[in-house]
C-alpha cells in the first residue's frame, strides 16, 4: 500500500475522483496546480505550484512521495489548429520531462510512475481486436502524440521506477467527457449517429477508469494496460441507448462524415474511427469491472 501519491491533473474529471478515492483509502495526496489560489494544505491533501512551460516546479511536492500518477493534458476534443496541436503535445510532454529532470537530480522515494495514455495509438479497424502487444500504428497526429507521451513516460525506468501506461478509452461520466456532448442534442430532439454509426467505440465508465488506476497503484503493476470495458459498442447502438434512457426520439438521419470534418477539421475524423480494443489483460491480472456492459453504465449515469 502506498502512503503518499503525487497526482498531476488532480482537479480534472478523472484526477479529482482518483484523488478522493486515494484519500478514502488513507493515502496522502500531493498535487500540482498552476493556479496559486487552488493550493490548499491539510494533513493529507497538499497542493504545490508548477508551471512546466516556464520550467517552474515546487520540489517540496516530491517529499515522501512513493508513486506519481500523471494525468495532466489538454483535451483533444477541440478543433486542432496548429497552435492547439502544439498545446496538446506540450501539455503532456513538458510536465513529464520536467519531473524526470528534477527527480534525476535529487534523492527521492518514488518507485512507481503511472501515466495516462490513449487507445488512439491503435489503428482504425472495424474487425481487428487490438491488444497491448499489437505494434501496428496509424500515421496521424493523435497517434504521434500518444507515442511521444508513452516514450517520455518510459524514461522513468532509468530512475529505477516501475512504469505503467494506462491506454484510456472513451470515458463515460456525468460531469464531462463525451457523454454530455452526445446527450445534449438528444435531449433537444436533435441527436443522431455519427457517420455510418457502424464504428466501434471502446468506452469505460468513470468509476472503472478510476478503479483501474487504483488497482495498478495498489499492486505496483508495471506495463501497458488497455483501460476499456470488456464489451465495445457501435456508435449507432450507443446513441440509440442514450436516447432510450432519456426517453427521447431519434428522427434525424446520421451526421455525414464530411459534415463532421468540415465543422471540426482534422479532429472530425476522430469520432469516425473504429476502435475495437481488448481489456483481457486487465481481467487476467484480477481487475473486476463494475460496468462491463454499456447499458448498465448508462443507467447509472443517465437515470
pLDDT of residue 187: 87
272: pLDDT strictly greater than 90: no
4-176+202-232+275-293 classified as CATH 2.60.40.1480: no
Q: How far apart are CA 39 and CA 8, in angstroms?
A: 13
Q: Give me the helices (H) in 77-228, please.
A: 82-103, 141-154, 178-187, 206-218
Query: Cα 7–13–18 angle (5° rounding)?
Result: 45
The answer to whether residue 97 scores a pLDDT higher than 80 is yes
**11-59 pLDDT per residue, tens:** 899 999 999 999 999 999 999 998 888 888 888 999 999 999 999 999 9
Which three cell numbers, joined as nine digits, stand for 163?
512504469
List of E strands, the chain: 4-8, 28-33, 45-51, 56-57, 67-70, 112-118, 162-168, 170-172, 200-201, 203-205, 223-227, 233-234
Q: Which of 127-131, 146-150, 188-192 has the lowest mean pLDDT?
A: 188-192
Instruction: Name the band, by pLDDT with cuts 50, 70 and 90, for residue 86.
Output: very high
| Widest distance between CA atoms in the chain | 62
**pLDDT, greater one: 26 or 188:** 26
Which residues are paired to 170 by β-bridges?
A: 203
Residue 264 per-residue DSSP state: H
The full set of domain ranges for the chain reads 4-176+202-232+275-293
Helices then strands, each counted (H, E), the chain: 9, 12
- Tens of pLDDT, residues 209-265: 999 999 999 999 999 999 999 999 999 999 999 999 999 988 777 776 766 666 667
Q: What is the pLDDT of residue 251?
A: 76
Instruction: List C-alpha distances in Å: 193 to 18, 217, 287.
Output: 32, 37, 32
Find the radius of gyration of the CA atoms of the chain: 19
The mean per-residue pLDDT over the stretch 287-297 comes to 98
The C-alpha cell at 303 is 437515470
Alpha-carbon dihedral of residues 233, 187, 12, 27, nearest 10 degrees?
-70
Mean of all residue pLDDT scores within the chain: 92
In degrees and rounded to multiples of 5, residue 238 shows phi and psi of: -60, -45
Once rounded to an integer, what is the mean pLDDT over residues 148-152? 95
Give mean pLDDT, residues 132-157. Answer: 93
pLDDT attached to residue 79 = 83
The CB-side HSE value for 292 (13 A sphere, CA atoms) comes to 9
Q: What is the pLDDT of residue 264?
A: 64
Q: Would the pTM of this model clear 0.75, i.e. be above it? A: yes
Amino acid at each position: 500500500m502506498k502512503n503518499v501519491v503525487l497526482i498531476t491533473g488532480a482537479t480534472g474529471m478523472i484526477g479529482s475522483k482518483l484523488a478522493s478515492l486515494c484519500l478514502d483509502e488513507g493515502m496522502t495526496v500531493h498535487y500540482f496546480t498552476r493556479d496559486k489560489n487552488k493550493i490548499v494544505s491539510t494533513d493529507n491533501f497538499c497542493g504545490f505550484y508548477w508551471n512546466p512551460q516556464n520550467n517552474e516546479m515546487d520540489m517540496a511536492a516530491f517529499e515522501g512521495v512513493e508513486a506519481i500518477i500523471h494525468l495532466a493534458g489538454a483535451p483533444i476534443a477541440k478543433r486542432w489548429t496548429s497552435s492547439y496541436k502544439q498545446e496538446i503535445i506540450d501539455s503532456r510532454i513538458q510536465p513529464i520531462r520536467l519531473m524526470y529532470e528534477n527527480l534525476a537530480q535529487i534523492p527521492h522515494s518514488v518507485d512507481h510512475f503511472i501515466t495516462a495514455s490513449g487507445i488512439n495509438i491503435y489503428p482504425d479497424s472495424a474487425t481487428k481486436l487490438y491488444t497491448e502487444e499489437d505494434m501496428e500504428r496509424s500515421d496521424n497526429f493523435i497517434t504521434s502524440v500518444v507515442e511521444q507521451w508513452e516514450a517520455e513516460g518510459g524514461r522513468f525506468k532509468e530512475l529505477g521506477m516501475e512504469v505503467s501506461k494506462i491506454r484510456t478509452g472513451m470515458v463515460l461520466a456525468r460531469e464531462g467527457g463525451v457523454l454530455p456532448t452526445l446527450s445534449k442534442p438528444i435531449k433537444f430532439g436533435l441527436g443522431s449517429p455519427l457517420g455510418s454509426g457502424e464504428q466501434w467505440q471502446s468506452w469505460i465508465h468513470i468509476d472503472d477508469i478510476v478503479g483501474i488506476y487504483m488497482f495498478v497503484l495498489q499492486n505496483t503493476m508495471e506495463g501497458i494496460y488497455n483501460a476499456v470495458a470488456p464489451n465495445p459498442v457501435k456508435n449507432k447502438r450507443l446513441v440509440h441507448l442514450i436516447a432510450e434512457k432519456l426517453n427521447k426520439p431519434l428522427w434525424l438521419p446520421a451526421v455525414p462524415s464530411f459534415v463532421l470534418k468540415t465543422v471540426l477539421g482534422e479532429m472530425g475524423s476522430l469520432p469516425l474511427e473504429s476502435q475495437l480494443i481488448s481489456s483481457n489483460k486487465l481481467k487476467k491480472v484480477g481487475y473486476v469491472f463494475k460496468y462491463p456492459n454499456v447499458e448498465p453504465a448508462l443507467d447509472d449515469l443517465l437515470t
